[in-house]
Chain A
Amino acid sequence: MGSKAETLSAGELVTLHETMLRVRASEAALAKLFADGEIPGFIHLSFGQEAVAAGVCSALDRQDTLATTHRGHGHVLARGMDLHSFFKELMGRAGGKCGGRSGSMHVADMSLGILGANGIVGASVPLALGSALAHQTRKTGGVAVAFFGDGAMAEGALHEALNMAALWSLPMVFACENNGWSEFSPTARQFKGTLTGLAATFGIAHRSVDGNDVEATALAARDAVAHARSEGPFVLECLTTRVRGHYEGDAQKYRSDEERKALEARDPIAIASAKLRAAGVAQEVIDEMAEKAGKSVADAVAAARDDALPDFEAALADVYTRAGPEHAR
């Protein structure tokens, strides 16, 4: 199925770069907010994986939907989630998109077709499968994307969903962020097969791509989404790098110094910056983009700090769309 274009224009690369910078700046702020105790609970950062979020989401149309993982900040931001409602949500404020009830691990924006981040490994896959079923049945022309990590490769839900997507020719992209780690264990110690091997078993079109090269990922995602829209499911395996721990605060004692040192050379933002310079974009322009992203994030954090805390009674009254008399107890 060759790509229509082998490269992207400088303008397209700039847009992708801005998206990655927005994700990076947001997560840098989250790391600090978490370390300072301003964000409680668990957060899982995607440093090193920004190109997958930017690349895949750049291929989506308005009617498309996605479901993502516990490491989903990049996907929701790349899909266009407003920074203010994002930070208010992650900081547990009333003005958060989910009213402070989801936090990092469940953040959703239904107006953008985001069916939520998810605290259960692999759970995004059946949700996206059902969304793809709805696209097909309702003839919306839409595609559903399941983001999942290689940690989900050993989950039965993925295997079941590959089978069903193939059986029903669903308009679905299985977008795997393969960073080599299943939480605290190397995936090689958890999963005997390969994702592309699984895809082949079910007769699903598939491709592996350098997920730290945003241009390559965006081009591959265009093909994957086009295939899903017209022919059926596609498995897109994005080979990428997890820089931070499984969760913030994880000291990653299980990773070697050599491995962690090697991550720097694969930084997707550094790689994209070099491509931008080669495409004739001046370093000052790239620096300004980063500065602008940092400023937008700082504004959103400040606004979130000023926002009200969520109301307990309102939460209690909102468990059901149509509550019965006893539900209010």
Chain B
Amino acid sequence: MPESRYIRAVNRALSDALEADPTVIVMGEDIAEAGGSFKATRGLLERFGPERVRDTPISELTITGAAVGAALSGLKPVLEIMFMDFVTLAMDAIVNQAAKSRFMFGGQASVPMVVRLPHGGGLNAGPQHSQCLEAWFAHIPGLKVVCPATVEDAYSLLRAAIDDPDPVIVVEHKGLYATAGDLPDQPSPARIGEARIARDGSDVTLVTYGAALATCIEAAGQLQERGVSAEVVDLRSLQPWDKAAVLSSVAKTHRAVVVHEAVRNFGVGAEIAAIIGEEGFDDLDAPVGRVGAPFMPSPFARSLEARFIPDAARVVNAALKTLE
């Protein structure tokens, strides 16, 4: 199978979507001439021209609001916000406009737009360039949120997001951009809301998404050495999320730990743990564990950030705790 890299899969998804649908446009700060801060959009300007691959000023609120207006007027904009942290400036457009237009207009309109948000730490980029804010968007009725962990999903989930009639937040971990993986010539289409069993196991379920998938796979290897068989569920999509897949895994393993890089408090893991508690209580042999970053801003220093981002050891400990 042909190997590619995550960032190239994103680029190919954008390119294939622009090719397939003349209403798709790609816009954002430095995405055209410069090819994007992380080079996700490299070469698109040359292929599709400045009307469809558009550099915008550094005006997050208005470029995002404009994407909503364009989506209400016959285009399918794919907007890149350079770092997820900067989306704070665009929240009105996403939360009050994009998410609500369909509902508050009584179904007269859809808002087929995508916002790509690079998140996550590991680059020592500090408190304003490292955050994982996906829970904010999963909390808003009207938005969909996906977070691809693999190269193939980077392609397939982005294509699914662009094809979707509703506003979709595509969260891409910056640390994954350079990772290699298989990308078939014809990647299988993804369905938003469908999880994937990334590793089979029988003793404990690790529920995760994005870059934390690799951490969980590593932890599962370490648990195996201790005689514990961990199943790893890659959610892929956070809103909607695949409750059936998670509950059926927990019905098999009777234990669960939810793992993400985002700050633990009030996070995605809280929602998932609560649902497992509410609907899978009879299957559980232990309280559901949660692993996430501690409740502090992302620190800069290499030594601090290394402890801030959850590692495999913390996942192993949390998993073992469910087996005590």
Contacts and interface: CB of A to CB of B under 8 A. Distances in A.
Interface of A: 65, 67, 96-102, 106, 108-111, 115-116, 118-120, 123, 125-138, 140, 144, 156-157, 160-161, 163-164, 167, 315, 318-327
Contacts of A109: 108
B61 A102 contact: no
Nearest to B141: A319
Interface in B120-166: 141-142, 144, 164-166
Nearest to A65: B73
Contacts of A100: 106
A324 B73 contact: no
Given A127-B69, A326-B239, A101 B164 contact: no
A116 B243 contact: no
B60 to A, nearest CB: 9
Contacts of B164: 322
Contacts of B237: 324
A125 B104 CA distance: 19
Contact of B75 (A97, A125, A128, A138): A138
Contacts of A144: 69, 73
B135 to A, nearest CB: 15
A98 B69 contact: no
Q: Please list the 5 inter-chain residue pairs (A to B) with the smallest Cβ-Cβ separation, ordered nearest first.
A: A126-B65, A130-B69, A324-B240, A324-B193, A99-B106
A65 B102 CA distance: 17
B108 A119 contact: no
Contacts of A120: 92, 96-97
Contacts of B141: 319
B192 interface: yes
Contact of B105 (A116, A136, A137): A116
B104 A321 contact: no
Nearest to A315: B103
B66 A133 contact: yes
A101 B106 contact: yes
Given A119-B96, A137-B75, A164 B62 contact: yes
Interface string B5-34: 000000000000000000101000000000
Interface stretch (B51-59, B176-184, B224-232, B294-302): B51-59
B105 A98 contact: yes
B79 to A, nearest CB: 10
A261 to B, nearest CB: 38
Contacts of A131: 69-70, 72-73
Interface in B236-253: 237, 239-244
Given A133-B70, A157-B62, 19 more contacts: A65-B73, A97-B108, A108-B108, A118-B97, A129-B62, A130-B66, A130-B71, A137-B75, A138-B74, A138-B75, A156-B62, A160-B62, A164-B57, A164-B63, A321-B102, A321-B166, A325-B240, A326-B239, A327-B239
A238 to B, nearest CB: 22
A156 B61 contact: yes
Nearest to A328: B240
Contacts of A318: 102-103, 106-107
B101 interface: yes
A160 B57 CA distance: 8
Which of B67, B68, B69 neighbours the largest number of chain A CB atoms within 10 Å of its CB? B69
B214 interface: no
A144 B69 CA distance: 10
Nearest to A163: B57
Contact of A128 (B61, B69, B105): B69
A163 B103 contact: no
Contacts of A325: 193, 240, 242-244
A327 B77 CA distance: 23
B52 A137 contact: yes
Contacts of B108: 97-98, 108-111
B196 to A, nearest CB: 15
B109 interface: yes
A129 B65 contact: yes
Contacts of B68: 126-127, 130
16 contacts: A96-B106, A99-B107, A101-B106, A110-B72, A110-B108, A115-B73, A126-B66, A127-B65, A130-B65, A130-B67, A131-B69, A157-B92, A161-B62, A164-B66, A321-B166, A326-B239
Contacts of B74: 134, 138, 140
Contact of B142 (A97, A126, A160, A319): A319
A146 B61 CA distance: 16
Nearest to A135: B73
Contacts of A102: 104-106
B192 A324 contact: yes
Contacts of A106: 100, 104-105
